[in-house]
Amino acid sequence: MQDKCGIVGAYSHNKSHNISREIYYGLYALQHRGQESAGISVHNGEEMRTYRGMGLVCDVFNNGNIEGLDGNVGIGHVRYSTTGKSQIQNSQPFISKFDMGSIAIAHNGDIINSMELRRDLEKEGIKFQSSTDSEVICHLLTREYSKNHDMVESIKKVSKKLIGSYSLVLLVNDDLMVVRDPIGIKPLSLGQKEGITMVASETVAFDVVGAEYVRDVEPGEILLINDEVHCFKIPKTPGTPRAHCMFEYVYFARPDSILDGRIVYNVRKNIGKSLFKEHPVDADVVMPVPDSAITAAIGYSRASGIPYGEGLIKNRYIGRTFIMPTQEERETSVKLKMNPIRSELEGKSIVLVDDSIVRGTTSKALVNVLREAGVKEIHLRVGSPPITSPCYYGIAMATRKELIASDKTIEKIRQTLGVDSLGYLSIDSLVECIGIKRNELCLGCLTGEYPTELPANIEEYESCRC
């Protein structure tokens, strides 16, 4: 699975301060949200400068590439594609020039009616440089802004046309603007540091530069940040829900982040404890699938009294995009990613804790690796309920037909994976662990019930996702 992106915005109230370093380190802290491309745009009061490239943050901004990015206000972006191919044209921030200056935009999320909106814009003669939904938002905003010269009002009007998820940072000349969609699917936080105001997808971006977490950007909130922080609200349609993405808590966010007031580490630790309550088992050791399931495994160990141990060592230099064409090579790729410690596994009965199962191919390959290492029994415990439906809001997990739980019972999944027992966390327990009301969470991938309407051409949209 991949999340769409991570975003950072920063404004220094000291006009002579160069903000690009804070943005760079903030993006570095958000590297787990996207390893495909990175970019930074800054404004120095006179002009906007941008640099973006393919690869990791440290690779894109090596060899002095950050040195020309001077300005007291800017935005940054790390990307993993869900719409739009992996190429430099689709990297962000996107830049658009108009009669009043320039606008740069960085986006986390997915606009599921973007194809329809794009076709309408193309009929008006607008030319696109990329194949992403983020550029669609950029053109919609610049078109509205050219009419009324008021970006807050432009955002309000454009939001009425967008279906999906969007957390945005905008550089409108030398103003920083921040937007979170009305149902709050994607996270966005506000921080401060010695005359600097920051926003980021996760609070870990503040920690690395010594900024303090202030609060979350509210769903439907627009912030205009210059000498002060000005707050506005997107008009709320009656019945509009809140729908925070449950998968941020289960998998995507770093465990040391705070999302919507919840410490992710505590949520995952509680998930592990709840897994033991729902699916206890007698075993020799509790082991995680590293790295995202480590905290849940610790929770399971503490609740059960079964010792925690490491049985798999992860090669952290193999990226998420490491894909092989044949079955033999795919099995080799799993061994490259995860190597067993035979001395910790041989003859043992283990509780293997994972954060989720999507297609099941990686889980099955891992089970084979553990069996070859001499494990006696494998009791798989999963920190999320079965994923039965696709996500349309920025997580490229799989199509419906590829999801192992879409058409299989838990017993059939157990047999397919080759484990001795299998236990998923229940939806009720997940909601309790997160600490947000069920009707304020997006559980679409678990229930097939989505917080927004789905366009009639959703199959076309799904087939074009990358």
Segment 124-153 mean pLDDT: 90
List pLDDT tens digits, range 105-122.
999 999 999 999 999 999
Query: Which of 31-45, 261-275, 306-320 shows the lowest mean pLDDT across its residues?
Result: 306-320
List pLDDT tens digits, range 333-349.
777 888 999 999 999 99
Q: Which position has the token pair 């009669």?
A: 99
pLDDT at 81 over 70: no
Residue type, 463: S
Confidence bin at 461 (pLDDT 50/70/90): low
Domain over 259-450 is classified CATH 3.40.50.1000? no
Token pair, residue 128, equals 């696109």
Minimal CA–CA distance to 197: which of 172, 234, 224, 179? 224
Which DSSP string do the residues of 393-450 spell out, in sequence order? SSB----GGG-TTSS--HHHHHHHHT-SEEEEPPHHHHHHHHTS-GGGEE-HHHHS--
pLDDT given for residue 329 in this prediction: 61
pLDDT at 320 over 70: no
Confidence bin at 466 (pLDDT 50/70/90): very low
d(CA 6, CA 102) in angstroms, rounded, equals 22
Give this prediction's pTM. 0.91
Q: Is 5 a catalytic residue?
A: yes
What Cα–Cα distance (Å) separates residue 416 from each residue in 365, 387, 405?
11, 16, 11
d(CA 433, CA 267) in angstroms, rounded, equals 5
pLDDT at 301 over 90: yes
Domain boundaries, the chain: 5-243, 259-450
pLDDT at 298 over 60: yes
pLDDT given for residue 413 in this prediction: 97
Segment 94-112 mean pLDDT: 90
Token pair, residue 23, equals 């943005």
List pLDDT tens digits, range 380-400.
999 999 999 999 998 877 688
Q: What is the CATH number of domain 5-243?
A: 3.60.20.10
